[in-house]
Structure formats: C-alpha cells, structure tokens
Amino acid sequence: MSAFKNSTWRLSNSERSHLKLAARLDPRGTLGCDGEWRLETIMAMRFYVGNNTSGDPSWWLFGANDEMAAWAGETFASESNARRAALAFKAGAATASYEVYADTGGSWSWRARRASDKAAASGESFDSKSNAERAAVNVRDNARYAPGP
C-alpha cells in the first residue's frame, strides 16, 4: 500500500504556481504493487519578457525559486522581438547545443546555441563546472514547459 494513498495535498496559491505535480502510472510496481500512482515533482519555470534596468527589451527564464535560470544574453530593438526570441528558444531549447565554459572571473557559465547563433545564456555564474552543467540540463529539459512569454 502506498503511503500516498488517500492523502490530501493542500497547496497555497504560491506553491501551486511554483510546483507542478505530475502523476503517472507506475508500470513496474516500484512503489509496492502494480497499478499504484507515482507522484513526481517538476520544478516549474516561467518566461518573462520586459525591459532591463536600462530600459532595453529582453527575455528571462526564472525557476520555481524565482532565481534567474537563463536569459537571452542580449537586448532587442523591441519587446516584440524579445518575445519572438523567447518563443524561439522555448521551442528549440531541447535540441539546442549547450556549452559550459570558465568565465573571466574563474566561475563557470553556460550558453545555448541554435545553428551558429547564441540563443540563451546562464542566469548566473557557478562555483563548479558540474553545477553549471546541471543548470544547463535543467533549462534544456524544462524550458519548453514553462509558461509564457
């Protein structure tokens, strides 16, 4: 018997907006017996298109913790151009090429490319290569499901 059977999950509006629960049938019965449901937590991401502090349009991808996971890596001539770029990245994030590199400060960052064009950049620098790789994989695997822009 699953510990989750007949459980009630109450989420606040904030939790609901930051957390997506996906239930899927567990065909191998790894939770105890065939036919039980397994709950998976997927960190929700969201796209935002707007102006940076200098007033220039760009796009950003935020994680469930409201930390910046990625950004366009550039500004655009208009908000509609920024929105088109965000939609293009969202559609192609899973098939983009991701490169992890040591930046000038000795930290690690990543960038995503589609064809020969930079499509996105990491939202922060990381203290290790493995943390930057993990962040890039997270964006690659989850950006297409993010609401927005």
Express each pLDDT in 61-109 by its tens digit. 999 888 999 999 999 999 999 999 999 999 999 999 999 999 888 999 9
Answer CATH for 46-145 from 3.40.1080.20, 1.10.760.10, 2.30.29.80, 3.20.20.70: 2.30.29.80
In the chain, domain spans = 13-43, 46-145
Residue 104: per-residue pLDDT: 86
Q: How far is CA 130 from the centre of its chain?
A: 17
8 Å CB contact between 37 and 72: no
Per-residue pLDDT at 22? 33
Separation between Cα atoms, residue 96 and residue 88, nearest integer Å: 11
Looking at residue 43, its pLDDT comes to 52
Question: How do residues 21-58 score in pLDDT, each as one tens digit?
Answer: 333 333 444 444 444 443 344 458 999 999 999 999 99
**What is the model's pTM?**
0.70
Residue type, 125: S
